[in-house]
Amino acid sequence: MSVDKSEPLEAEDPSRGVNLRVPCYDHIDEERIRKHLEEDHFFWLDLEDPSEEDVMTLARLFQFHPLALEDVRNFNQRPKLDDYENYAFLVFYGAHDRDADDQDLLREMHLFVSGGYLITLHREPLPVIDEQRDKIEGRVLHSEQFLIYRVLDALTDSFFPVLGAMDDDIDRLEDGVIERPDDELLQEIFALKRDLVSMRKVVTPQRDIFARSIDQLAELPGLQLDERDYFRDIYDHLIRISDLIDSYRDLLSGATDLYLSTVANRQNEVMKQLAVVATIFLPLTFITGFFGQNFAWLVRYGINSEAEFWIFGIGGLVLSCVLLVLWFRRKGWA
């Protein structure tokens, strides 16, 4: 549901350029859209999970290129900016925290940008875009560029809460690796690595778009652009996000190395304990084996009284254990 505020509001201060109110729609209203197109009134159409009928209606109303329509029908596109002379087609990504029903981390959006309209299409709900649409509805804007900036900036900034949660998870995993390294922690580390790889695959080309190709928007006929400060702000955020992703990948690699090192140290500790036990039983086995031989002299003359049994038999075993324990402590092994 949307309110039609199609009349553009002229600036009270001409030195600041053209000010306008942008009507925002979340469904296709052909009558109003045709009116905006005829009067060249800028508007924003935001469609969630567009059907094939919606795509065909857009093709009829705006005469979009078949290749652009094919991209709209097939999501999972790489971030890109295609110039079609009178409009540009942009694929851009945001991020969203996982929940019980949705395990997908990234949110893909397709944008048609021209001097007369902004059309955004996405399959999943995007709360940050809904929030921007509610804020912009009926508000006086400085230019069309500001609306494009708000949409792209909202998508870009949606990465920061997700990365903040990842930072907390990395701290928790590092503490867990030191305290109790187990296979579950290792699987969490690998899962975070996969998420960061997925984010890097979209953030890097988006950063490159703003570094090299964003000037194509300035060449669209009828699109009112201000200074490049808006897009530079998005570019700066993308650089920060890219740097955070790289640093978190390094931290996870360090956590993996720490996990393997901790497990190896614990295995060495176990092996040392087993070696201590085996070393203690070595002289015990020798003594009991020696006195257990059935030689006539040993049986008749070696130990033939209870005192000799306690002194040579049990005493020898105890003395060997005591000497080994003292030697282990001197070496720092026990």
Domain 14-262 has CATH 3.30.460.20: yes
Q: Token pair of 24, please? A: 């925002």
Dihedral, CA of residue 37, residue 41, residue 47 and residue 51, to nearest 10 = -10
- What residues does each domain of the chain span? 14-262, 270-331
Under a CB-based contact definition with an 8 Å cutoff, are residues 59 and 40 in contact? no
Ordered per-residue pLDDT tens for the chain, 334 residues: 343 433 333 333 333 445 678 889 989 999 999 999 988 888 999 999 999 999 999 999 999 999 999 999 988 899 999 989 889 999 999 998 876 555 788 999 999 999 889 999 999 889 999 999 888 887 777 778 888 889 999 999 999 999 999 999 999 988 888 888 788 888 898 999 999 999 999 999 999 988 887 777 777 777 766 656 678 889 999 999 999 999 999 998 888 888 887 777 776 666 776 777 777 777 777 767 666 666 566 656 656 666 766 776 677 778 877 887 787 777 666 5
DSSP-derived secondary structure letter, 14: G
* Phi and psi at residue 117, to the nearest 5°: -165, 160
Q: In one letter, which amino acid is 268? A: N
Helix (H) or strand (E) holding 39: helix 30-39
What is the number of other CB atoms lying within 10 angstroms of the CB of residue 206?
A: 26
Report the relative pairing of strands 117-122 and 43-48 from DSSP bridges.
parallel
Q: What is the DSSP string of 177-239?
A: HHH---HHHHHHHHHHHHHHHHHHHHHHHHHHIIIIITHHHHTSTT-----THHHHHHHHHHH
